[in-house]
Amino acid sequence: MSRPPTDLDDLRRSEQRLRAAFAQQFQFIAILDPEGRVLDFNQQLSADGPPVEPEQVIGVLFWQTLWWRDHADMQAVWPARLHTAAATSGPVLADDTFTSSSGEQRFASAAVTAVRDASGALDCFIVQGTDTTERMRSEALKRALEVQLRETQKLEAIGTLAGGIAHDFNNILGAILGNLSLASEAVGPGHAALAPLAQIRIAGRRARELVHQILAFSRRQPQELVAQPLRPVVDETLALLRSTLPTAVQLDAVLEAEPLWVQADATQVQQVLVNLCTNAWHALHGGRGRIEVGLGAAPGQQVRLWVADNGVGMAPTTRERIFEPFFTTKSVDEGTGLGLSVVHGIVTAHGGAISVDSTPGQGSRFTILLPRTPAGPLLPEPASDMPVPARAGGGHRVLYIDDDETMALVGGGLLQRAGHTVEVFQDAAQALAALRERPAAFDLVVTDYNMPRFSGVEVAREVARIRPALPVVITSGYVSQALCAEAAAVGVRHVLHKENTLEELCETVRRVLDVEPGS
């Protein structure tokens, strides 16, 4: 026969219930004596690691337990916090950092409340804490994404601006190079002016390549991995860097002569090099120093690409974080922290790896390893800097439209030199009126794309209404995929980069009209 429950049994059951509730709380709870020593606690701060044994913390000052013994700031804060709680009727709230039982630094929100006995004397402190690490990380990620969105919008604005500038600047370059060709032919061989004209031509071509590079970096293009030798990509980037880095910075190249083929997006590889060299430049505090760009074969069928500097170098703590998005040691006006994370993403997308060696005061070396690929067909030889002679196959009637007076004269002059009959218009409406009046008078229409009243696509659309079979070529200082698609939709035969007018205009006209050389 069982005995009836006693008051002691009831007390034990009540204690067991309270102990279970204490242990199963969603929040961390610790009970501290009036001096701050731990009397009891639950295991909620051990969720990501091994349980904390009672002997590790019971009787230990709260701020000297494993949770805070590595946090000197918290060791100073907690005694003052308990003093404040003892003088306050309600809880004292705070946000803390602590070390979990697994050794990870985490975040928590804490509330400290003083408990008094019936006489009003301080009996103990109740500390409640909630691990807020994931929320803090989520908020940090949200802030980072907001910053990234703003930076992306800036890049889009830069791309739009670059496209607009390119149109006008390419008009100027096309006019310079076209007139140089005409002038060189006019003065004839042996003339004293040919040498300075040739130097102007070289400078004009360099300016044109710079515009190409700026546009390539500003466009939002999908990654296009193509088998190609890496040396020409590096050479082009070095040419761009030499024109942009200060003269006090010595830029050296250590490039292996052997063709080293990789599957790569040339524009993105150039972006990697520019970002790394820009960082190297910023590391040369004082503006003087040396940057080395190297290219060579590596063991295991890999290609090694590196950028080294003799700048300030990095401490280990910085070196460990440099590829994190938005981590930067630069001031606000020097960088966003996006550069090296972008570099890391591009290298990874190419199937490669990037590492860094750096010592404070001795500079840094970034090394990229890319998988080597079998050599493909040889690339075409670069265009000559000599004036382009008139090609055979002239005698056609061309309607030429460009609102820029200089480009109109240059384009018309080049076509006339090639033997064509050309009518030049700076107003698209007047040109279309002439075509309506004499629809059979022309074999081809060449029109600029960006004009005040009509775009080149609108001109092509109207030409198709007036005379459907008449071929149209559009020239533009900024050729995008969208422009090419729009032009193709209205039957345009070819879209010509305006800065290539000198080399390609007459050849394009010949090809569009299917005239064979010598005919």
Return d(Cα 194, Cα 191) in angstroms, integer.
6
Distance (Å, rounded) from C-alpha 288 to C-alpha 249?
5
61, two tokens = 């000052």
3 state SS of 286: coil
Q: What count of residues does the chain have?
A: 519
pLDDT at 517: 41
pLDDT, tens digit, 9 for 90 and up, residues 198-235: 888 777 777 776 666 566 555 544 567 889 999 999 99
* CA 31 to mean position of chain CA atoms: 52
> What confidence score (pLDDT) does residue 220 get?
46
What pLDDT is attached to residue 382? 42
Cα-only R_g, the chain: 36
How many angstroms separate the CA atoms of 284 and 277, rounded?
11
Q: Is 365 helix (H, G, I), strand (E, B) or coil?
A: strand
Mean pLDDT score across all residues of the chain: 81
For the chain, list residues with pLDDT below 70.
Answer: 1-7, 9-11, 14-26, 44-49, 151-152, 155-156, 158-160, 162-164, 166-167, 209-223, 286, 325-339, 376-394, 515-519
Q: DSSP characters for 201-241?
A: HHHHHHHHHHHHHHHHHHS------EEEEHHHHHHHHHHHH
* Tokens linked to 473: 């070529």
Whether the CB-CB separation of 68 and 38 falls below 8 Å is answered with: no
pLDDT reported for residue 15: 66
Full set of structural domains in the chain with CATH = 25-131 (3.30.450.20), 223-377 (3.30.565.10), 397-512 (3.40.50.2300)
Looking at residue 356, what is its pLDDT? Answer: 93
> What is the reported pLDDT for 195?
84
pLDDT of res. 47: 59
- The pLDDT tens digits of the residues spanning 233-261 come to 999 889 878 877 888 899 999 999 888 99
Can you give the pLDDT at residue 217?
54
Helix (H, G, I), strand (E, B) or coil at 17: helix
- Helix/strand/coil (H/E/C) assignment for every residue in 85-102: HHCCCCCEEEEEEEECCC
Residue 448 gets the label, from left (phi > 0), alpha (psi -120 to 50) or beta, of beta
